[in-house]
Protein backbone atom coordinates (compact mmCIF):
# COMPACT_ATOMS: atom_id res chain seq x y z
CA UNK A 1 0.00 0.00 0.00
CA UNK A 2 1.32 3.45 -0.84
CA UNK A 3 0.67 6.54 1.22
CA UNK A 4 0.95 10.23 0.34
CA UNK A 5 4.17 12.09 1.00
CA UNK A 6 4.01 14.09 4.26
CA UNK A 7 4.15 17.41 2.38
CA UNK A 8 1.06 16.37 0.41
CA UNK A 9 -0.91 16.30 3.69
CA UNK A 10 0.86 18.80 5.97
CA UNK A 11 1.36 22.51 5.35
CA UNK A 12 4.84 22.27 6.98
CA UNK A 13 7.94 22.69 4.83
CA UNK A 14 11.68 22.44 5.40
CA UNK A 15 13.33 23.24 7.65
CA UNK A 16 10.31 22.59 9.89
CA UNK A 17 8.98 19.35 8.40
CA UNK A 18 9.95 16.50 10.73
CA UNK A 19 8.33 13.52 8.98
CA UNK A 20 10.11 11.95 6.00
CA UNK A 21 7.72 9.14 5.21
CA UNK A 22 4.27 7.84 6.13
CA UNK A 23 4.43 4.11 6.89
CA UNK A 24 0.88 3.42 8.08
CA UNK A 25 -2.25 5.54 8.05
CA UNK A 26 -5.79 5.02 9.28
CA UNK A 27 -7.31 8.43 8.52
CA UNK A 28 -8.90 10.04 11.54
CA UNK A 29 -7.55 7.30 13.84
CA UNK A 30 -3.79 6.69 13.73
CA UNK A 31 -0.59 7.18 11.79
CA UNK A 32 2.94 5.83 11.79
CA UNK A 33 5.91 7.41 10.05
CA UNK A 34 9.65 7.85 9.88
CA UNK A 35 12.08 10.71 10.44
CA UNK A 36 15.70 10.03 9.52
CA UNK A 37 18.22 12.31 11.23
CA UNK A 38 21.27 12.84 9.03
CA UNK A 39 23.23 15.27 11.20
CA UNK A 40 22.88 18.05 8.63
CA UNK A 41 19.76 19.43 10.34
CA UNK A 42 20.04 23.09 11.40
CA UNK A 43 19.52 22.50 15.13
CA UNK A 44 22.42 20.07 15.63
CA UNK A 45 25.04 22.80 15.10
CA UNK A 46 24.03 24.58 18.29
CA UNK A 47 22.43 21.78 20.31
CA UNK A 48 25.12 20.89 21.36
CA UNK A 49 28.47 21.68 19.71
CA UNK A 50 30.61 18.56 19.99
CA UNK A 51 27.66 16.46 21.17
CA UNK A 52 24.74 16.93 18.78
CA UNK A 53 21.43 15.99 20.40
CA UNK A 54 17.89 16.29 19.05
CA UNK A 55 15.98 18.78 21.23
CA UNK A 56 13.13 17.07 23.08
CA UNK A 57 10.67 19.73 21.99
CA UNK A 58 11.35 18.81 18.35
CA UNK A 59 10.61 15.17 19.12
CA UNK A 60 7.24 16.31 20.48
CA UNK A 61 6.74 18.43 17.35
CA UNK A 62 7.49 15.44 15.10
CA UNK A 63 4.91 13.37 17.00
CA UNK A 64 2.41 16.24 16.64
CA UNK A 65 3.08 16.42 12.89
CA UNK A 66 2.33 12.71 12.64
CA UNK A 67 -0.91 13.35 14.53
CA UNK A 68 -1.77 16.20 12.15
CA UNK A 69 -1.33 13.76 9.25
CA UNK A 70 -3.88 11.42 10.86
CA UNK A 71 -6.31 14.32 11.41
CA UNK A 72 -5.92 15.93 7.98
CA UNK A 73 -5.96 12.65 6.03
CA UNK A 74 -9.30 11.82 7.64
CA UNK A 75 -11.01 14.64 5.80
CA UNK A 76 -13.00 15.52 8.91
CA UNK A 77 -11.06 18.73 9.62
CA UNK A 78 -13.12 20.56 7.01
CA UNK A 79 -10.26 22.60 5.58
CA UNK A 80 -9.09 23.55 9.06
CA UNK A 81 -5.58 23.27 10.49
CA UNK A 82 -4.71 21.44 13.73
CA UNK A 83 -2.50 23.52 16.03
CA UNK A 84 -1.00 22.59 19.40
CA UNK A 85 -3.45 23.23 22.21
CA UNK A 86 -1.39 21.49 24.86
CA UNK A 87 1.16 18.85 25.65
CA UNK A 88 0.93 16.55 28.66
CA UNK A 89 2.94 13.73 30.15
CA UNK A 90 5.96 14.29 27.90
CA UNK A 91 8.76 11.93 28.81
CA UNK A 92 12.17 11.72 27.20
CA UNK A 93 13.64 8.25 27.56
CA UNK A 94 16.84 8.39 25.53
CA UNK A 95 19.13 10.74 23.65
CA UNK A 96 18.59 11.01 19.90
CA UNK A 97 21.67 11.77 17.79
CA UNK A 98 22.62 12.15 14.12
CA UNK A 99 22.17 8.88 12.24
CA UNK A 100 19.20 7.79 14.33
CA UNK A 101 15.91 6.94 12.67
CA UNK A 102 12.80 7.82 14.62
CA UNK A 103 9.62 5.83 14.11
CA UNK A 104 6.72 8.10 15.02
CA UNK A 105 3.42 6.61 16.18
CA UNK A 106 0.22 8.48 17.02
CA UNK A 107 -3.25 7.34 18.01
CA UNK A 108 -6.03 9.90 18.05
CA UNK A 109 -8.50 9.97 20.90
CA UNK A 110 -11.50 12.18 21.44
CA UNK A 111 -12.21 14.60 18.61
CA UNK A 112 -14.79 17.30 18.11
CA UNK A 113 -15.30 19.87 15.38
CA UNK A 114 -13.06 22.30 17.30
CA UNK A 115 -10.43 20.21 19.08
CA UNK A 116 -9.04 16.79 19.79
CA UNK A 117 -6.59 14.66 21.71
CA UNK A 118 -4.07 12.02 20.86
CA UNK A 119 -1.10 10.16 22.24
CA UNK A 120 2.13 9.28 20.58
CA UNK A 121 5.68 8.16 20.85
CA UNK A 122 8.97 8.25 19.01
CA UNK A 123 11.00 5.05 18.89
CA UNK A 124 14.51 4.09 17.88
CA UNK A 125 14.22 0.43 17.07
CA UNK A 126 12.18 -0.98 19.95
CA UNK A 127 13.37 1.66 22.45
CA UNK A 128 11.07 4.57 23.31
CA UNK A 129 12.88 7.89 22.91
CA UNK A 130 9.88 10.10 23.70
CA UNK A 131 6.21 9.76 24.55
CA UNK A 132 3.53 12.39 25.10
CA UNK A 133 -0.15 13.22 25.06
CA UNK A 134 -1.26 15.88 22.60
CA UNK A 135 -4.14 18.31 22.59
CA UNK A 136 -4.93 20.31 19.47
CA UNK A 137 -7.36 22.92 18.30
CA UNK A 138 -8.67 23.26 14.77
CA UNK A 139 -8.36 26.75 13.28
CA UNK A 140 -9.30 28.17 9.90
CA UNK A 141 -6.50 27.46 7.41
**Catalytic positions, please?**
47
Torsion of CA 34, 35, 37, 38, to 10 degrees: 80
Q: Are 47 and 107 in contact (CB under 8 A)?
A: no
Question: What order do you get walking across the sheet with 30-36 strand by strand?
Answer: 21-26, 30-36, 101-111, 115-124, 127-140, 80-92
Partner residues linked to 85 by β-bridges: none
Asked if the bond preceding 16 is cis, omega within 30° of 0, the reply is: no
Rounded to an integer, what distance in angstroms lies between the CA atom of residue 132 and that of residue 141? 25
Amino acid sequence: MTFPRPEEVLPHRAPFLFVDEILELVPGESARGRWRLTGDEWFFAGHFPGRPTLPGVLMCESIAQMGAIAVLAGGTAGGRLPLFGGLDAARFRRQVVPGDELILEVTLGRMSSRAGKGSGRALIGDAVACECDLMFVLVDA
